[in-house]
């Protein structure tokens, strides 16, 4: 039961990340914080870095939630092959996204890398959504089996 809510939290935070990432990109704030992973002032940024710093904070939270979901899926004896695949693929994609995000900053928003970052983000959302759907199906099957 906990697994389905962890997966759902991952999806909601990921959607928030995509929303703020779109804002960062559309408003031209992608290089407002030129260092990676922290902004020039360290952990707590100035006002000028706040939006980009928020995007990075939500990205770290998303990564932790998606990886935690994958660990939970693999520890759950009731997990099927489908949810193991989608959650593991999502974890791989989220690590790739974080590394690619660092590369995008390092290479000063190279257009091809930004497009790849967006494409992988959409694929990550799809895998996380499938993981949530499989987790709720798994939760329903476990409740039915206990009754």
The predicted pLDDT at position 39 comes to 73
Q: Per DSSP, what are the bridge partners of residue 39?
A: 42
Residue 117's pLDDT band, with cuts at 50, 70 and 90, is very high
pTM of the model: 0.87
Return the exposure string of 55-74: e unless at least 16 CB atoms fall within 10 Å of the residue's CB, then b. bbebbebbbebbbbbbebbe
SS3 sequence of 85-138: HHHHHHHHHHHHHHHHHHHHHHCCCCHHHHHHHHHHHHHHHHHHHHHHHHHHHH
Number of folded domains that form the chain:
1
* 35 Cβ contact list (under 8 Å, min separation 6): 105
Mean pLDDT on 104-116 = 87
Q: By percentage, how much of the chain surpasses pLDDT 90? A: 56
Mean pLDDT on 10-38 = 86
> For residues 95 and 110, which has the higher predicted lDDT (pLDDT)?
95
For residue 52, the enclosing domain spans 2-146
């Amino acid at each position: 039961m906990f697994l389905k809510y962890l997966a759902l939290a991952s999806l909601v935070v990921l959607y928030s990340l995509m929303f703020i990432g779109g804002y960062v990109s559309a408003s031209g704030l992608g290089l407002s914080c030129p260092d990676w992973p922290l902004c020039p002032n360290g952990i707590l940024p100035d006002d000028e870095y706040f939006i980009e710093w928020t995007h990075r904070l939500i990205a770290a939270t998303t990564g932790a939630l998606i990886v935690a979901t994958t660990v939970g899926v693999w520890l759950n004896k009731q997990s099927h092959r489908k949810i193991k695949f989608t959650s593991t693929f999502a974890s791989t994609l989220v690590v790739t996204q974080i590394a690619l995000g660092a590369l995008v900053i390092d290479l000063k928003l190279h257009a091809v890398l930004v497009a790849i970052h967006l494409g992988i983000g959409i694929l990550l959302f799809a895998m996380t959504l499938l993981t949530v759907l499989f987790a709720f199906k798994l939760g329903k099957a476990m409740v039915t089996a206990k009754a």
